[in-house]
């Protein structure tokens, strides 16, 4: 457990920091993710990349000598040097302004928008919000806010987090059986070295979890894929998700959704094998 209170004055110095990355929206990665998700259709060169698949691109490539014990790059570069050991992608808000074509050269500009310290039940929490703008030929096509939360691990004697029942009024549902191969392939496609997704010994002996954690972005991608399967041809205007509780590779889970009466709003969620809420999301269709 961290013994230091996060220094908000130091961490706030990172607010306003920016970085820019340029990447080609490579067809090979799109084909690989289609195979990873066991999809029949594959985007062709020039076609729009499916929603949230942009997370495969604009890698942060750190030398092996600069990787921390958890598999992430050591902190203090673009992201602030938060010392709390556990890091989680807590949620995102994404606006789709136009297509991101396969084969296009795109530029992502990232900005540290905010850093906040709060006190949780198990200790301090640090919330970092990063804003991303992805542009093609100078025109923004995706705007995103990405929330990262840092915290200490639970301590012996801490009360377990209360579970919340998932909704039961789904219009569509899809069972998912995660396995280490799925998690490894998604980690590889997103160049995510975080050991919680592929190193079972690290997870059970260091992080004290029962299994490998399913990536939050992967769950979100499965939710948008459910919409694409049920409402083919409908384009996304926006998508928001919030992680509620972790999902592990030791048991199946499910993704669900329903189209609301306005014909544009979609309510989405993921649930574990016991029907407990793992992720909640909303989408707006064009």
Collapsed DSSP state (helix, strand, coil) of residue 183: helix
Residue of 205, 204, 212 lying closest to 183 (CA atoms): 212
Judge contact between 189 and 32, C-beta under 8 A.
yes
Q: Which are the contacts of 207, defined by CB distance < 8 A and separation ≥ 6?
A: 86, 153, 196
The strands making up 18-24's β-sheet, listed across from edge to edge, are 18-24, 105-120, 123-136, 139-151, 86-96, 236-243, 277-285, 265-271, 253-259, 172-176
Residue, of 285 and 4, whose pLDDT is higher: 285
Q: Given a cut of 80, is residue 216 above it in pLDDT? A: yes
β-partners of residue 142 are 96, 134
β-partners of residue 162 are none
Tokens of 249: 């590779």
The mean-pLDDT minimum among 149-153, 199-203, 214-218 falls in 149-153
Tokens of 121: 């039940």
Region 26-38: what's the mean pLDDT? 97
pTM assigned to the model: 0.94
Task: Name the architecture of domain 8-285.
Answer: Roll (3.10)
Q: Where are the domains of the chain?
A: 8-285
Residue of 250, 237, 198, 195 lying closest to 68 (CA atoms): 195
Q: What DSSP letter does each residue of 97-134 carry, written as one string?
A: -S--BTT-EEEEEEEEEEEEEEEETTEEEEEEEEEEEE
pLDDT in tens, 94-120: 999 999 999 999 999 999 999 999 987
Region 13-23: what's the mean pLDDT? 96
């Amino acid at each position: 457990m961290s013994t230091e209170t996060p220094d908000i004055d130091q961490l706030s110095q990172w607010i306003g920091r920016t970085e820019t990355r340029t990447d080609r929206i490579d067809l090979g990665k799109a084909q690989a993710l289609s195979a990873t998700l066991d999809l029949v259709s594959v985007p062709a060169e020039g076609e729009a990349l499916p929603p949230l698949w942009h997370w495969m691109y604009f890698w942060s490539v750190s030398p092996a000598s600069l990787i921390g014990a958890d598999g992430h790059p050591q902190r203090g570069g673009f992201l602030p040097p938060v010392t709390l050991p556990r890091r989680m992608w807590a949620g995102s808000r994404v606006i789709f302004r136009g297509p991101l074509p396969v084969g296009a050269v795109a530029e992502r500009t990232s900005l540290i928008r905010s850093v906040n310290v709060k006190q949780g039940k198990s200790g301090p929490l640090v919330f970092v919000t990063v804003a991303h703008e992805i542009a093609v030929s100078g025109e923004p096509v995706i705007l995103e806010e990405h929330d990262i939360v840092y915290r200490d691990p639970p301590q012996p004697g801490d009360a377990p987090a209360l579970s919340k029942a998932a909704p039961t009024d789904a219009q569509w549902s899809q069972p998912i059986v995660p396995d280490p191969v799925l998690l490894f392939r998604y980690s590889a496609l997103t160049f995510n070295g975080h050991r919680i997704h592929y190193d079972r010994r690290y997870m059970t002996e260091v992080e004290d979890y029962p299994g490998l954690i399913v990536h939050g972005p992967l769950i979100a991608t499965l939710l948008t894929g459910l919409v694409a399967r049920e409402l083919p041809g409908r384009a996304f205007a926006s998508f928001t998700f919030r992680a509620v509780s972790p999902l592990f590779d030791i048991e199946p889970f499910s993704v669900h959704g329903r189209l609301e009466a306005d014909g544009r709003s979609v309510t989405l969620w993921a649930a574990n094998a016991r029907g407990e809420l793992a992720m909640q999301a909303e989408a707006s269709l064009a």
